[in-house]
Homo-oligomer: A and B are copies of this chain.
């Protein structure tokens, strides 16, 4: 499963001592070819961690032989020294694996503004390399956890080829800015241009539409690597669907494990004039703290949905807006609709439909409720 479900990949996950509690904290994923094609998408935060700045350079070449991932430290806002540390990590992996450093991507997650303990990380790379296995995907997925309560993996099977992946990130809610790290692998025989197209198409409607708490990490990274070892080149549409399925599955797992959350909220915007409008409205609803508190309290407070819609520039008329919560149209034509007492909110998943009555475009954004647990988890000193 995970990153070793596809042929041509080995992986390992170990405890290198980066985390003080001794939990696994270092993962290594290696592409044994014959291809080493890759694509990546990164945080759009302009304050980027050193590993993001490095890996963007690596991905520019379209080739990735290995990925080193560590939890226990984000290596963000660490200046030239932080960048040197990332570079040294790539050099170390390259040396141990006999590859070029410029084909080694690096991902980090943890506290911002703290240098990584390189005296532990570099020997850890050697240890991990010695444990690389075709069955190492699970261990790698475990080693990248921060506050995740479960490790997250997914697989989609094609006809003779496979796409598999792992993710960490507690819905972008974790201490130290959470960070979503995702590595997806495939043995399909495709080049980096195909990978790039499929990955961007998939992330646009999956990870980009997960908005647990509105906070964007300095470290978010999604990588897609192809080994070509299945010797099958799938039809593009089929391949893109498989990549999207894995991304959607992992994104849903991230929301389901969001720190401190009690509800997973699916916000479906329909009747929008454009998809951009639908996304803008969905995101505005997803980021409304008052609504998120109400959902936490199992209160179908549609007024807060309307007020969130009202802050956007989307095309709509206020007196034509409709809102359903868990199937009950509590707001019709901008006013009171069906009886709100009919809304059953006992379950973890909550489904909000916002109908703009302005067109045919739709988009779905996932978020979480806002809870006292979220506050507690994120207000701990130096978290």
Using a CB–CB cutoff of 8 Å, the interface residues on chain A facing chain B are 44-48, 74, 76-79, 82, 111-114, 176-177, 213-218, 287-290, 293-294, 296-299, 301-304, 306-312, 316, 318-319, 321, 331, 333-336, 370-372, 374-383
Contacts and interface: CB of A to CB of B under 8 A. Distances in A.
Given A290-B378, A375-B375, A112 B297 contact: no
Given A113-B303, A216-B311, A371-B375, 17 more contacts: A46-B316, A47-B310, A47-B318, A77-B302, A79-B334, A112-B307, A215-B304, A215-B308, A218-B306, A218-B307, A218-B310, A297-B383, A298-B381, A299-B379, A299-B382, A372-B375, A374-B375
Question: Could you say which of A112, A312, A382 has the most chain B C-beta atoms within 10 Å of its C-beta?
Answer: A112
B307 A217 contact: yes
Contacts of A294: 378-379, 383
Nearest to A370: B375
Binding site of A, secondary structure by majority: helix, strand, loop or mixed? Answer: loop
Copy number of this protein in the oligomer? Answer: 2
A213 B375 contact: no
A303 B216 CA distance: 12
Question: Could you say which of A111, A293, A311, A316 has the most chain B C-beta atoms within 10 Å of its C-beta?
Answer: A293
Given A293-B375, A310-B46, A311-B45, A77 B303 contact: yes
Contacts of A290: 177, 213, 215, 378
Contacts of A216: 307, 310-311
A147 to B, nearest CB: 13
Contacts of A112: 301, 303-304, 306-307
Given A299-B379, A307-B177, A374 B335 contact: no
A306 B219 CA distance: 13
Given A299-B379, A307-B177, A335-B113, A215 B46 contact: no
A256 B309 CA distance: 28
A79 B293 contact: no
Nearest to A380: B297
B381 A79 contact: no
Contacts of A218: 303, 306-307, 310
A297 B380 CA distance: 6
A361 to B, nearest CB: 19
A265 B370 CA distance: 21
Contacts of A378: 289-290, 293-294, 297
A137 to B, nearest CB: 30
A321 B114 CA distance: 16
A371 to B, nearest CB: 6
A46 B284 CA distance: 13
Contacts of A334: 47, 77, 79
B380 A299 contact: yes
Nearest to A314: B46
A102 B320 CA distance: 27
Contacts of A113: 302-303, 331, 335-336
